[in-house]
Structure 1
C-alpha cells in the first residue's frame, strides 16, 4: 500500500479517507488568499497543497527537473548522457559548468517558487486560524515552515541571490531580491521555528508516513548550516544529530540494497521521503500526477540484460541519461555492498549505447519491472520513492562535525563510532575500522550517497570543487571550475519580467 498519499492522511492531514487522493488537488480558497479566517479543514488543505510540490521533482512545467540529477550532473560521479550533446542541451551545459542565463534548467525555479507560494499560504492560514486545537495548529504551522525552508533552500543553493516574499504579492507581482546571506537567515528562522518547542514529533507511525518530523527539520538545518559553513551553529547542529541518534526512532537497515525497492520505503532508516504513485502524469499535463520520471531518465536505452553487479534481471530500459563515470567502482572496498546497490553494469549488446556511454548506470532509482501501470504514461509514472533524508547522513554529519571541524562530542557520541556504524552495515565480514579523519569521512560520504544528489554540494562546501576542472575528450567533457559557478545564472526570462526597484540583478560572473 502506498503510504504517503493513500494511507497517510492525509486522512489525518486533510480529513480524507485512507484511500483518498483528492488532497493533491486542494488549493487555498479565495478567503485564505485574502487573509480571511481559516478553519482546520482550510489550513489542512493549504498544507496539503504545499506538500504536493514534492511530487513535481522529476517532471513539471514541461521540463525534466529531478533535483537528484540536476545536482549530480555538476559532480564528478556521472556524465550527462542521453542521445547526444544536444539532447536536453541545457543539461549538457549544466554538466560542463557552462550554464547561461538563457540555457539552464529553469524549471527548478518555477517548481520551488510555487512551493514557496503555497507554503506561504499555509502559514498565513495558520495565522488566521479559528477554533483549531493548539497542538494541531502548532504542528501544521511547523510543517508549513519546514516545507517553505525546504523549497527555498534549493533556490538558495542553485541561485543564491533570489527574490523572496512571505505575503501574497500584489500587482506587479514582483518581490525584492535578497542576498544569499539574507536568505540563509530566513531559512534558519523557519527551521528553528519548526524544531523548537516539540511542535513536530521526532518520528511518525505508519498512519502518518510522509509527514514532516522534527528529525527532518533538524536534518535540513544541518544541510543548510554546513553548506553555509556557519561555524557558530555547528554546536547546535551536532546537538540535533545527537538527539536523532539517541532518540532510538531511526536505525540503519542491515542490508543497504534493501533501502531502494518499494519494500524499503519508509523503513527504519528513512527520516523523510517523497512517495510517488504510478499514475496521473502525462506529457500534456505540466502540473499534475503522482509518478516520477527519474527512473526512465537514468536507465539504459532498450535494455534486455541482467545487471552484472547484482545479478538481478528486474530492471527496465529508459533514456540513457546520467551514466556513471568509469572510475566510480574503484572507490569501493572489496565486499562493499553499496557498489552493487548504487551502480548497475550491463553487458555490451544488452542495451543501446548512447552519448557518453560507460556501461554503468545509477541503480538506486533505476526503472524496475512492475513499478508503473498502464494506461498511464509509463515513462512519467514510476513509483520509486525519493529518499530525502536518511539516518546514515545523520551519522556522517556528526562524524564530520567532530572530526573535521573540531566540535566537542556530546552525549557520548564519537566521530569514530559514527563512521564505524556506517561502514559496518555495508562491509559486514569485510569491515575494518579506519581512522575518522577528513579524508576517510569525505570518501565515505561519496560511497554512501552516490546517485542521491549530494556530491556536488559537498565538494563546494568543503572547498574541493576545483577537482571538477577536467578535459576528457573520450567522454566529450571539458570544463573548468571558478568560485562564481557555485551559483547558476538567474534565468534571463525572470530578469526581463522585472523592473524598477524590483529589477533582478544577475549573479556575478554571468554578465
Structure 2
C-alpha cells in the first residue's frame, strides 16, 4: 500500500460529474498546500476529485472492476462467461468462491484506497477553510465524510480487516490494519457526521444532480448497519427510511424507464455515478484512469449480437464481450405479468449472437449495451454513457419491509411493511399481498438483479450455503464457507508492509 499512497497526487479535473455545465467547473488544487489554508476553490477541487472516483470502477488501473459485476459474480444470479475460464481468470476464481491472494480483482483495492486518500484531503481542506460561507462549508464537509464512508464500506465488505488512516501518512507510509468491526465503527461515525443537522439536502435537482444527499447517506447507513446485523441501530435505520418516504421527494417511476438515457436522475434516483463521454473525454486502452465513460455495458452484452431481445421485443441493443450471463432460473423467480422481467433480463435467440463460455442465452438487461450510447472520443467499448444507479428509492421501501417483517422493528410513521412491499409490487404490475419474510427477500432479488445486491444479501441473511453448487454443464463447482465473505488480502500489498504494520492475511487463505 505504501507505494500507492506515495503516488497519490491531485489533478485538475472537471469539478464534479453532473449533467450540466454549471457544475463542471475546474478549481485548481494548487491554491492549497498540504495542510495549509484552503479557499473555496481548493475545497471544491478536492471534493471534485472524490466524486471522480465514482467513475473509476469500470476500467481504472486497466482492470475490469465494475462494482456491481464484482459483487454479483459471487452470487447465484450470474456466471462469469467471457471467452473461457481463463479469460479474466481472476474473475472466474471470484465466481467460484476460490480467489487467492495472487488471483483476485486487486483493482478494487487500488481504487478505494485512492478514494480514501482523496476524501481525507477534502476533509482536511474543509478543516482549514478560509473565507467560505458557513452553510456551504458544512455541506462540503458532510459530502466528503459521506464519500469516505461510501468508499471505505466497499473495502470493508470485500476485505473486512483492512488498513485505515485519516491523516497524511509519513514514511514508511504504512497504516494500521483495523479489524472489520473497527472499520464498521469508522464508517458509522462518518455517516452520522454527514447526517447530523441539515448539512445535506434530502434531494437535489438541476446542476446539483450527482451530489450526495441526506437520503443517500441514510441509505448508506442502512446498507452498512443491515450488513453488520447491528440490531441496536435497526430502529434508527427504519426511522430514516420513513423520513425519506414522508419527505415526498422520491417515487417509483416506470421500471423500464429508469435505465435509459432519459431516465437518468429520475424520480426514483437517490444517487448516480454520472458517465459523460463524448465532449467530456473518454477512457482509452492506454489510460483507464481518466474519462467519463463505463465499459460495463460492453462487458455484459452478448458477443456478435444481431437480433432483438425476445423478452422485451426491443432491437435497441448491440453486442459486447459476453461476460456475466444471467442464470436461466432467474426467469422463474418472477410472477406472471411482472414488468421487471423484460427489463432486468435479455434473452436472445440462438444464432443471433456468438455463444461463449457458460452461455445460458440470458443476459443482464439494465446496463445492456445500447445503440448510440458509446460515441467517441475514447475507445468505444470503454465509454458507454450508462449512469450507474447507486441508490434507488426502491431500496428505501424494501429496507423498511425487511426491518419490520424479518427483524421485528416496530413501524414508524406512515411507512408500514404492507405499504412498502405493495408499492413495489404495484409498480411491477402485480396484485397486493400480505408481506412475509420469504416474499420480502424474493421481491428484493427481483428488484435488484444486476445491481450488485444479491451476494451481500445472502451473506447477511446467513444463507451463503445456497451458493454451494456442482454444475458441470456450466463449469461451476463451488463450496461456500463463512470465511469466504471476505476476499484474501492481495499478496502484493502484504509484501509491501513490514514490522508493526505487516498486513495479516484474512482467515482461511
TM-score by length of 1: 0.95
- State the 1:435 CA deviation: 2.3
Q: Match of 2:426, SS? A: helix
- Provide the secondary structure at the position in 1 that maps to 2:470: strand
Whether the 8 Å CA contact 2:55–2:292 is kept in 1: the answer is yes
Instruction: Please give the per-residue CA displacement for 1:27-75, whole angstroms capped at 9, x wherever unaligned.
Output: x448442x00001111011000111100011111010000000000000
* 1:47-62 correspondence to structure 2 within 5 Å: 47-62=47-62
> 1:469 matched to which residue of 2?
468
The Cα of 1:9 is off from its aligned counterpart by 4.3
Q: Tell me the residue number matched to 2:75.
A: 75
> What is aligned with 2:390?
388
Q: Work out whether residues 320 and 354 of structure 1, in 8 Å CA contact, stay in contact via their aligned partners in 2.
A: yes
3-state DSSP of counterpart to 1:335: coil
Q: Shift of the alpha carbon at 1:250?
A: 0.3
SS for the counterpart of 1:171 is coil
Report the alpha carbon displacement of residue 4 of structure 1 after superposing the two structures with TM: 3.8
Counterparts of 1:115-264 in structure 2, within 5 Å, are: 115-253=115-253, 255-264=254-263
CA contact (8 A) 2:18 2:208 kept: no
- 2:31 touches 2:38 (CA, 8 Å); kept in 1? no
User: CA RMSD of the aligned region, Å?
Assistant: 1.1
Q: Deviations over 1:414-459 (max 9, x none)?
A: 11110000000012xxx22222111000000000000000000000
* 1:19 alignment partner in structure 2: none
Following the alignment from structure 2 to structure 1, what is the Cα–Cα distance between the partners of residues 276 and 205? 20
* Number of aligned residue pairs: 491
2:500 alignment partner in structure 1? 501
Equivalent pair of 1:270/1:387 in contact (CA under 8 Å): yes
Offset of residue 5 of structure 1: 3.3
| C-alpha distance in 2 between matches for 1:132 and 1:426 | 47
Partners in 1 of 2:329 and 2:458 — Cα distance? 17
**C-alpha distance in 2 between matches for 1:189 and 1:470:** 39
Contact kept in structure 2, 1:8 and 1:209, CA below 8 Å: no
Structure 2, unpaired ranges of 5+:
1-15
Give the match's secondary structure for 2:197.
helix
Determine helix, strand or coil for the equivalent of 1:384.
Answer: coil
**Contact preservation (8 Å) 1:434, 1:440:** no
In structure 2, C-alpha distance between the alignment counterparts of 1:71 and 1:439, rounded to whole Å: 22
Q: Deviations over 1:330-389 (max 9, x none)?
A: 000001010000000000000000000000000000000000113420000000000000
| Cα drift, residue 8 of structure 1 | 6.2
Q: How do 1:4-403 and structure 2 match up within 5 A?
A: 4-7=17-20, 9-10=22-23, 16=25, 22=26, 28-29=29-30, 31-33=32-34, 35-253=35-253, 255-278=254-277, 279-403=281-405
- Deviating runs (4+, > 6 A) in structure 1? none
Tell me how far apart the structure 2 counterparts of residues 181 and 317 of structure 1 sit (CA, whole Å).
43
TM-score when scaled to structure 2? 0.95
User: SS of 1:387's equivalent?
Assistant: strand
Matched, 1:458 2:457: yes
Deviations for 1:183-235, whole angstroms, at most 9, x for unmatched residues?
00000000000011110000012121000000000000000000000000000
- Deviation, 1:286, is 2.9
In 2, distance between residues paired with 1:107 and 1:30?
A: 31
Judge conservation of contact 2:282–2:377 (CA < 8 Å) in 1.
no
Equivalent residue of 1:327, what SS?
A: helix
User: Against the structure 1 CA distance between its residues 368 and 425, is the aligned structure 2 distance closer, same or farther, given a 3 Å change threshold?
Assistant: same
Is the 2:85–2:357 contact (alpha carbons within 8 Å) kept by the matching residues of 1?
yes
Cα distance, 1:280 vs. partner?
1.5
Q: Distance in 2 between matches of 1:58 and 1:9?
A: 26
Partner of 2:436: 437
Distance 2:245 2:214 in 1: 13
Cα separation, 2, equivalents of 1:84 and 1:71: 20
Q: Contact 1:32 / 1:121 at 8 angstroms: preserved in 2?
A: no
In structure 2, do the counterparts of structure 1 residues 445 and 32 end up closer, same or farther at CA, with 3 Å as the change threshold? farther
Q: Distance between the aligned counterparts of 2:285 and 2:353, measured in 1?
A: 25
